[in-house]
Amino acid sequence: MVIPIHPPGVCDSPNKSQYRSMPVYSSRNPSSFRHSEGWSNSQSKLGSSGDGRYSPLSSYKPTQVSSLNKSVTSPGPGLIPPRGILRNATTNASGNPRLSKGGTSSYYALSSTPTAQNIPESIEQAARMTEAVFTKDKEYPSLFHALGGRDEPAQVLPISGLIEQDYPCLIERGLMSGRLFNIEHRTEIPSELKAWMSQTTASYRMGLFPEIHRAWMTIASDLYLWDFRDGSDLSYYAGLKEPIIGLAFAPAKPNLFKANLNHILCVTTPSQVVLLGFIVSCDESTLGLAAPIKTALEVIAQPIYTISSDNVLFPVVVGSSQGRIFVGGADGNVHEVFYQAQRGWIHDKCWKKNLTKSIVSSYLPNFLTFSSPDPVKEIVIDNQRYVLFTLSKSGTIQAFDLGEDGDSFSNIGCLSHETIINTVIVKSKNSLEPNSVRNILSISAIKQGDLGLVAVTDSGIRLYFSLYTGLSQRANPMIRPSTLKLAHIRLPPGYSPMSNIRKPTGAYTAYCSNGLFSISTADGDTSHVWLITPFIYPTANYAELSTRYTVPGKTIDVKEISVREIDPVVFEQPEVMSQHLPYRREIVILTSHGTIVLKASKPFELLRDLIQRQGPENIQGHFEMLPNKVQPLANCVLLASHPFLFTDNNVHDLATKAIFMYGELAPEFQQDAWPYSPRHDAIYTTVGRVLASFWNLKLLRTGTISGTTTKIIMPNISGEQVSYAIHFIQSLHTFIVNNPNLYMISQIVSTGTNNAQMENTPEGHRLMCYEMEKMSMAALKNLLSQALEVLGMWKILCEHQINIILQGVDDRLLNTTLRDMIVAGQNTIPVIIDALINKYLGDNAAVDAISIRLREVCPSLFRNEDAISSKVAEILSKAKQTTDPHEKESMLTDSLILCEQICGLGRVNIRNFCMQFAELGFPLGAIRLCESAAKAVDPQHLALLTLKPTVSSDPVANQAYNNRCDVYKIVFEILDMYYTSSNQQSPPLTGRTSDENLPSEKAKLFADETFRGILESEDEVFHIMLYNWLLERNLFGRLLEIKHPFLDAFLQRAAESVVSGKLHRNGMNGNETRILDLLWRHHELNQNHLAAAQILMRLADFTTDGLDFQQRFDYLARANICAKGVGRRGPGELLENLEDKLDVAQIQKSILDTLKNRLVNLSETSSGVFDHTLTNEVKMHQESIQRLNSQLFNISILYSDFAVPFKLHEIRLEIFNAAGHSEKPLIESLWADVIQTELDSTRESLESQLELVRRKVVTLGKKYISSPTYFPMEYIVEHLEAMMPVEMVDQAWVVRTMLEIGVSFTELLFVYEKLWNKVTQQRVSTLGGMNGQSQVCRVVMSMIKSMLDGKLEVRLPRSQHNEFIEKCKDLIALMIVEFSSKFEPEAKEITQKLNITKDRLEYR
């Protein structure tokens, strides 16, 4: 049933006219599509197994039509849906996606096509799905496992071919086309040779050289060669004198001969081994991937080397891929023919060596070896593993190891014919007769996998041999083969009880190569050639298809024609995986009548024949041969989209119909199963197979220029490969585009309970799966479109000198794969395109031509803005070359206008153009371009919102701000370049470079022009970046010269951020204070003294390690000056606060200075001595000094945290004075502590100690003399007198100290009078008893005597002077009375002196 995809009103897909018209079928599976059911339920399908991929085949027969009741098997957790395409999905227990049943959100509320924003994501999703699919596709069983192999123990089932599934009769049942091979060429033996053959009685031999497309014939000593495809190019060589008995064609050893001599033909005669040089060349017109090879042969006239055969006949000759030549002798040994360019010390240029005969037996005559020779019948070489096998005439098989590098020779194992027969009987459990393996016709190496050799018997039985003993050896490629054992017996067709095929018997030739098996049996004058190939789809068991051809005459040789430039791995995998590649398997059959070239049909060609003959409605059984329809549907997808099937478009239409008929989800689809249909997986599988060969291949490789050692980069993916892949990818893309119902997503938007109920129904769940699949297909369409453009671009690149184009960027591309370029090449592709365009700058026509072609081939990679960008690059290139300033200015202006048209597009390299403008002396162009680009990236001016504190955390606005900054950074990079080139005082930041070709005078002019251009901008963000640029380079003077409102706002915001400790949009660090420093200078310059004072006070109070105490003190002093400069209207409270802060700061300074001095002394003391206590004290001082530098403290903290812990008694006294604390006892104790500290500070003489005390008391006395509360003179005098030693001669030491402080004589005398009364009246005093009275008395006498002698001047008015004299007399009289009453001798002496003093006072 055909349903048109576009209902009325729905537009066609874009550019539909460029695609081949294809009918489109409904994505639903109507009941009218249900035709023949295929097979009965009692019989399993091909390859059915529990894992849903591959399994042993079973017998099956057509049945009646029945309802579809088979479930679709999930391909397993290896295939996962792309991320992001499930909206309401979970996973089941097995890890597969499962749609949830609840919720009110609708899965169908999706757009019909991916938006521009999610296209890269969809490409990534499709890439992951594709990789998962072709990873799954590669999980086909190896030959070892297909034959029933088990890894542990390492063995296979002993025998196969006994059941119908081994050779399914699909052709007979109409499920497959019988045209497995088609005759490509049929050519008779050249008439010249045929005529000669009919006239001569001489013996002749024939064979094939498939590598050069030649058949050969030897007649006696003459050699004839001709092209077996058409019988042309008959040539001969008659340079030998003896009959030819063996020959082989092999590549020459590398680097031995001239470059054009590339092959060796080894010919053996009864007495000689001759090496002939051949030059094989290919016609350049046939070097295309899909073109037939035309080869030209030229033989060197004279033999290169000739050696004796030493009376041994060598009918078997074979060459290895490395140029080694082995010959099998009639003596049963393998010999090697060595050849070299120069004669050696031991060997000549060419010699022969017996590799299999022991040294002792080589010297014995034949009659002493006690055995008849067993001639070598065949030698084959595995050029992948480097293993050599031999088959003797008796049927013995031997294996030899050629070494890891293919340059050695050692024995692996040997199986005699009798041993092989016995093993066959045991493995077949006596079901096979010994006669079935009586004659081994041929052997063939299995070059990859777990098995190593296959031997074919005359009954068509194949014997598979293994070279390894266990899984560990087979899994490790470093372990060499170590054994030779029979692993499996494969019977030919006809052994199954249900088979109606006759067994092949009496075969006389056999050939096996890469899974292709051929035997020939005679039937009168004709031969039957049996051809057996693997089943077209991979299955778990080894299933094969067979066909038979009848050819005239006797089959002489069968060979597969080698294919150029094809990875050997391709031959080891199922052909369905590589059938899109431009090669096909061909075999050539040489008979006594001529040659027949058979071309193997590819799997999709077999399906084409079937679908053309029966129609898609009648081939349902073909799609149900396997438990999963993906493999046959992938074959159908390739058929529907194959780009080279131009003969009949109806084939595409029929294949498309079959895809939609058999690719749906099964009706009994389970909700927790794989949500994609077989059709979806088949399309992805086809895409994966097309991309797999180069998907993970690196784009570039290193090579050398021919004939030199110079290394260059080369494309690792050639233009031919790319061109061929483009055809397939384009065709697959066309197939998807022309069937929009594969990817057009429904616009159903449903909400609420009804939608939830629908999702819980089977039909609703099924519809959701359909939409998931369409999203996946839409992603695949995007991936194919991207791949087409990337491959198209790479093809253009390969057409030019890629090593020159990519010079400088090749290092970034050496490890880039095609997958990287397609999926994540948004950063790499522009670099490549720019490199391509830059190569042709200056050539206007070339740039335009390349631009046009890039726009045609990859319009999304090279867009209109890229073309304009290329034009700008061309204009700038010309501007660099012109000398006319007017023309140059015009070019720069034109290029700027073009740049502004595309500057808002992220793909354009704005920086490149700006730097070129700068180099050309056009900095204003760079500024203007960056301003335009900034407006383009932030059209709504959201960046300015970040300058408002209330919205500074808006992520959208922050991103807009960052986008603008990223653009403007280019201008400041230019400014850095100019500043560096102009040799200015303030260099740019590290990493910036200068233009060495730019004179310093011009650089300075350009720098100033750039500076002015930025200031003329109206973008505040631009200004902020300029201010920060100046700050980073310490250009504070230049910053303060700016007169702009933006600067006021900038500095104010910055100051607020610094004070608050928050990082604001100005880009400054919150701990930096230079902003505040600049701000107060800015206010001071603008006569705003009050604001300057406030900021300076903030600076002083700011907690940071970036300022020391002296800077803070200076800030306070400067703030005090600014506050006084406000005038009469200045705030008195601020000024008073500042003065108080200065007083406290002075105390802090005293503490800091004291601690620093102490730290120096402690450091000197602890130098070289470890004292734990001393170390802790040093650490404590250091920490306190750091604290004192980090901030200003109040007076309470200074007292409690510093003055008291460190016993800073003077500072404590100063703090009491500043705080007005007048507690007398505490103050007196502080003076005592001060005096004691001075005494303890030195251990010198008494005089030195007293001198230190005197100086300290004088210093503090002068400071506090005006504040009697903090200078308790009576206490100090008494304390000093009490501390004086008795023996001290100088009685007036305290008096002189007080007088030096500034205490008057009269005041001091009154103090001593009070002290005398205190001592006399026995009050609590430090002076007591007779000694104290006498000390005070002596001091008073000394004072009066000094006054009378005129040494001390007493300045008093005359009226007071007489009064003072009278007081002195009264004091002396009291003392006389006191001492007259004492009887000590000292008292009498003092009394006498007192009387003398009294008399002097009387007579004054």
* Per-residue confidence (pLDDT) for residue 473, from 0 to 100: 56
Q: What is the DSSP letter of 1244?
A: S
Can you state the angle between helices 649-662 and 630-641, rounded to 10 degrees? 150
Prior bond of 493 cis (ω within 30°): no
Mean pLDDT (whole number) for 760-769: 77
CA distance 159 to 427: 7
Q: What are phi and psi of 277, to 5 degrees?
A: -90, 130
* Per-residue confidence (pLDDT) for residue 557, from 0 to 100: 95
707-755 tens-digit pLDDT: 677 778 888 888 888 898 999 999 999 999 999 888 887 654 333 445 5
For residues 68 and 1279, the model is more confident at: 1279
* Per-residue confidence (pLDDT) for residue 27, from 0 to 100: 35
Residue 18 has pLDDT above 70, yes or no: no
CA distance 828 to 1049: 42
* Per-residue confidence (pLDDT) for residue 1167, from 0 to 100: 63
Is residue 581 a contact partner of residue 570, using CB atoms and an 8 Å limit?
yes
For residues 1170 and 1195, the model is more confident at: 1195
Residue 489 has pLDDT above 90, yes or no: yes
CA distance 1076 to 1082: 10
For residues 31 and 631, the model is more confident at: 631
For the ranges 689-693, 979-983, 1294-1298, which has the lowest average pLDDT?
979-983
- Write the CA distances from 1150 to 565, 1142, 1143, integer angstroms: 91, 12, 11
Percent of the residues in the chain that have a pLDDT greater than 70, as a whole number: 78
Locate 488 and state its tokens.
């499996």
* Per-residue confidence (pLDDT) for residue 988, from 0 to 100: 42
Report the DSSP beta bridge partners of residue 319. 325
66-102 tens-digit pLDDT: 222 233 333 333 333 333 333 333 334 334 443 333 3
For residues 994 and 1010, the model is more confident at: 1010
Half-sphere CA count of 1270, side-chain side, radius 13 A:
21
Torsion sign over Cα 876, 880, 883, 886? positive
Is residue 415 a contact partner of residue 484, using CB atoms and an 8 Å limit?
yes
Name the 3-class secondary structure at 646: coil
Residue 1066 has pLDDT above 50, yes or no: no
Ranges 500-509, 732-741, 1157-1166, most confident:
732-741
* Listed residue (1073, 1014, 1077) closest to 1046, CA to CA: 1014
* Per-residue confidence (pLDDT) for residue 883, from 0 to 100: 87
* Listed residue (495, 491, 466) closest to 481, CA to CA: 466
Mean pLDDT (whole number) for 413-435: 91
Is residue 160 a contact partner of residue 593, using CB atoms and an 8 Å limit?
no
Percent of the residues in the chain that have a pLDDT greater than 90, as a whole number: 27
Q: Which residues of 347-380 are buried (b: 16+ CB within 10 A; e: fewer)?
A: eeebbbebebbeeeeeeeeeeeeeeeebbbbbbb
Q: What is the DSSP string of 1081-1118?
A: HHHHHTT-HHHHHHHHHHHHH---TTS-HHHHHHHHHH
141-181 tens-digit pLDDT: 888 778 876 655 556 678 999 888 889 888 888 888 888 99
1097-1154 tens-digit pLDDT: 777 777 767 678 887 887 787 777 777 767 655 566 777 777 878 888 888 888 888 8
At 553, the amino acid letter reads G
Residue 107 has pLDDT above 70, yes or no: no
CB atoms within 10 A of CB 1240: 10
449-472 tens-digit pLDDT: 788 999 999 999 999 999 988 654
For residues 793 and 119, the model is more confident at: 793
For residues 1065 and 413, the model is more confident at: 413
* Per-residue confidence (pLDDT) for residue 874, from 0 to 100: 83
CA distance 894 to 888: 10
Phi-psi region of 429 (alpha: psi -120 to 50; beta: other; left: phi over 0): left
Residue 822 has pLDDT above 80, yes or no: yes
Locate 1133 and state its tokens.
């409270």
Is residue 478 a contact partner of residue 385, using CB atoms and an 8 Å limit?
no
Q: What are phi and psi of 1025, to 5 degrees?
A: -65, -35
* Per-residue confidence (pLDDT) for residue 752, from 0 to 100: 41
* Per-residue confidence (pLDDT) for residue 566, from 0 to 100: 62
Mean pLDDT (whole number) for 289-312: 80
Phi-psi region of 1099 (alpha: psi -120 to 50; beta: other; left: phi over 0): alpha
Residue 972 has pLDDT above 90, yes or no: yes
Dihedral in degrees, nearest 10, Cα atoms 1173, 1174, 1176, 1179: 180
Average pLDDT, the chain: 79
Mean pLDDT (whole number) for 531-553: 90
Residue 386 has pLDDT above 60, yes or no: yes
* Per-residue confidence (pLDDT) for residue 1110, from 0 to 100: 83
pTM for the structure as a whole: 0.66
1344-1375 tens-digit pLDDT: 888 887 777 777 666 677 778 888 888 888 88
Cα distance between the two ends of the chain: 153
* Per-residue confidence (pLDDT) for residue 759, from 0 to 100: 58
Residues 6+ apart with CB under 8 A from 905: 863, 865, 936
For residues 689 and 1053, the model is more confident at: 689
- SS3 string of 254-292? CCCCCCCCCEEEEEECCCEEEEEEEEEEECHHHCCCCCC
CA distance 997 to 791: 41
Residue 671 has pLDDT above 80, yes or no: no
Locate 1099 and state its tokens.
């600076």
Confidence of residue 910 (pLDDT cuts 50, 70, 90): confident
Residues 6+ apart with CB under 8 A from 475: none
* Per-residue confidence (pLDDT) for residue 1138, from 0 to 100: 77
Residues 6+ apart with CB under 8 A from 307: 272, 273, 337, 350, 351, 352
Residue 1324 has pLDDT above 60, yes or no: no
User: What stretch of H or E contains 768?
Assistant: helix 762-798
Confidence of residue 901 (pLDDT cuts 50, 70, 90): confident
Locate 1346 and state its tokens.
């000094």
Residues 6+ apart with CB under 8 A from 1153: none
Is residue 271 a contact partner of residue 547, using CB atoms and an 8 Å limit?
no
* Per-residue confidence (pLDDT) for residue 50, from 0 to 100: 37
* Per-residue confidence (pLDDT) for residue 974, from 0 to 100: 92
Name the 3-class secondary structure at 1129: coil
The vertex-1083 CA angle with 1077 and 1089, nearest 5°, equals 110
* Per-residue confidence (pLDDT) for residue 440, from 0 to 100: 95
